[in-house]
Amino acid sequence: MKHIVDLAKNRGFVFQGSEIYGGLANTWDYGPLGSLLKENLKNLWIREFVQRRPDMVLLDAAILMNPQVWVASGHVGGFSDPLIDDKNTKERFRADKLIEGKITEIVTEALKQNEEWVHLEKNMDEAGNLRKALQLHPAIYNQIITEKVLKKYWVPNQIPESWTPEQQLNFMKCEDVRNPNNPDVKADWTEIRKFNLMFETKQGVTDDSTAKVYLRPETAQGIFVDFPHIVRTCRRRVPFGVAQVGKAFRNEITPGNFIFRTREFEQMEIEFFCEPGTQKEWHEKWKVACKKFLMETVGIKESNLRFREHEKDELSHYSDWTFDIEYDFPSIGFSELQGIASRTDFDLKAHMSESKQDMSYFDPVKNTKFIPYVIEPSIGLTRLFLATLCDAYDTIKDEEGAERIVLRLKPEVAPVKIAVLPLVKKLNEKAEEVFTLLSNNFMTWYDETGSIGKRYARFDEIGTPWCVTIDFDNTMEKNMVTIRHRDTMEQEIVAIDDLVDYFKKYL
Ligand code: GAP
């Protein structure tokens, strides 16, 4: 992860937010390359799930919504994390995350006593870390968890987030869970409180509490609230879906791991409305479609992706059934990249009851009225950005044996598609002509400084799939250029007149 963060910062993918003032914790700016990469991911997602499907439309709802929306959706009452303070240091933590850390420690200790440890250790070397070794041996893991956690503490599962505050505090006290930043001293923990993750702000000039509004914690509610308008105006019949891309905000207690978990992030969400009783069938279809998008369109390797079904106690308040697509993030391990939830009719029903508006759907063919069920494929755009960078990151040895980075992004995903490189500065006039031709069609950068080898390396590092070289023999004499391919390093001579068509085959 450190290599990814360094590359992102040094090459203009992601900068720390307001850095000249010392930064603001956990805020990130997407730089010249990062903003292009993010835009490409977003546009590919819209192309795949809106443009190419007759059963999908797009929406762009407001970030600020009537606060009643969040009462109905359950976010005012239930969108919270268990918060605990260490009175010694006045630091604040998520209790469930501290417990998860302790459980990993307990399992590690227990594993060392297990006779199969030798075998596990072998796998640990292969897999690189303990987490992976555990994932390879779920039976041993489950046995240890049952003995050392579930039976010992009378808790229903291994997901501390779903335990009661009393169960969480009891575990922390009995296991002497320490403050990770002050592990040598016994922590002086407070009680556990529920901390609502929604950011509050005030709308208008008055300072009274009735002006309180929230920054949306998910984009989904805009879709639910606008459902009747969409049905009326777009003449879509259920089953159909609505897609939306936009910012969401959560006052996460423990953000971190670079842009993996941030307080301000972007989501790409789909609410797919279907007839009650058909939700399982649609859920399966969306699982396939989402994985296909990640692999075939974004280019993420299948071996780094897996599905994980949520356990009953882990489900969000609106869901009867959820699958995550997890990505094997470096330093983090397999973690949620995308959720695909069966959201039932919870939201439309809740808004119908709160707003007293009719949110049901009338099927003109069957002459029936019902509240649709919803399948929700929801992915973090900024989290997908991180997965894409991690997955494309590769290193090779140059002729001198030094290691250098090659970002193997798919051409459609790459921020800069083509680099135009005059072999020497003297060729700049012709090179600028080629640049104008290409940049009218594709995101193209121009670079005339440094040796040609250094320039190739610079563009490999930011994932540019092609470099177009302008030279004396081919270009000035024959009106042709050399195209150098990033992944194979092969070179091809192509007529300038054919260049745009050449690249259009790929983009
Ligand atoms: N509407 C459903 C919903 O919001 P979620 O699992 O809380 O579900 C969906 O979020 C996706 O949004 C996640 O799979 C993740 O990719 C992304 N996401 C959630 N919280 C995030 C955060 N704090 N930072 C970055 N991405 C986040």
Give the pLDDT confidence of 235-294 residue by residue, as tens digits. Answer: 889 999 999 999 999 999 878 899 999 999 999 999 999 999 999 999 999 999 999 999
d(CA 68, CA 200): 13
Q: Is 269 in the pocket of ligand 1 (CB under 6 A)?
A: yes
d(CA 132, CA 474): 52
Question: What amino acid is encoded at 35 in this protein?
Answer: S
3-state secondary structure of 70: helix
Q: Is 218 in the pocket of ligand 1 (CB under 6 A)?
A: yes
Q: Are strands 373-380 and 333-344 parallel, antiparallel or unpaired?
A: antiparallel
d(CA 456, CA 454): 5
Q: 488 near 466, Cβ under 8 Å? A: no
Nearest CA to ligand 1 atom 27: 380
What's residue 127's pLDDT?
A: 46
* Average of per-residue pLDDT values in the chain: 92
Q: Is 196 in the pocket of ligand 1 (CB under 6 A)?
A: no
3-state secondary structure of 61: coil
Condensed to tens digits (0 to 9), the pLDDT of residues 84-142 reads 999 999 999 999 999 998 998 888 788 777 666 666 665 555 445 565 666 667 777 78
What's residue 52's pLDDT?
A: 97
Q: Is 244 in the pocket of ligand 1 (CB under 6 A)?
A: no
Centre a 10 Å sphere on the Cβ of residue 158 and count the other Cβ atoms it contains: 20
Residue 380 Cα to ligand 1 midpoint, Å, equals 5
- Helix, strand, coil abundance in the chain, percent, nearest 5: 40, 25, 30
What's residue 208's pLDDT?
A: 66
d(CA 301, CA 294): 8
Nearest CA to ligand 1 atom 21: 261
**Among 224, 263, 336, 343, residue to substitute to test ligand 1 (most atoms within 8 Å of Cβ):** 336
Q: 388 near 416, Cβ under 8 Å? A: no
3-state secondary structure of 116: coil
Q: What is the pTM of this model?
A: 0.89
Helices 138-145 and 95-113 meet at what angle, rounded to 10? Answer: 110
Q: Is 475 in the pocket of ligand 1 (CB under 6 A)?
A: no
d(CA 201, CA 308): 36
User: What are residue 445's DSSP bridge partners?
Assistant: 419
Q: What is the DSSP string of 291-302?
A: HHIIIIII---G
In 199-263 the beta strands, taken as DSSP E runs, fall at 200-202, 212-214, 240-249
Ligand 1 atom nearest 339 alpha carbon: 14
Q: Is 338 in the pocket of ligand 1 (CB under 6 A)?
A: yes
Nearest CA to ligand 1 atom 16: 380
Q: What is the DSSP string of 361-392?
A: EEETTTTEEEPPEEEEEEEEHHHHHHHHHHHH
Q: Is 216 in the pocket of ligand 1 (CB under 6 A)?
A: no
Condensed to tens digits (0 to 9), the pLDDT of residues 365-384 reads 999 999 999 999 999 999 99
Centre a 10 Å sphere on the Cβ of residue 329 and count the other Cβ atoms it contains: 22
d(CA 112, CA 130): 12
Q: Is 221 in the pocket of ligand 1 (CB under 6 A)?
A: no
d(CA 370, CA 239): 12
DSSP 8-state secondary structure symbol assigned to residue 185: S
Residue 192 Cα to ligand 1 midpoint, Å, equals 24
Q: Is 339 in the pocket of ligand 1 (CB under 6 A)?
A: yes
Residue linked to tokens 């930011």: 462
Question: What amino acid is encoded at 467 in this protein?
Answer: C
User: What are residue 375's DSSP bridge partners?
Assistant: 272, 342
Nearest CA to ligand 1 atom 6: 339
Question: What amino acid is encoded at 41 in this protein?
Answer: L
| Dihedral class, residue 425 (left if φ above 0, else alpha if ψ from -120 to 50, else beta) | alpha
Residues (pLDDT < 50) of the chain are 126-127
Q: At residue 109, what are phi and psi to the nearest 5 degrees? A: -60, -45
Nearest to 215 by CA among 173, 267, 270, 166: 267
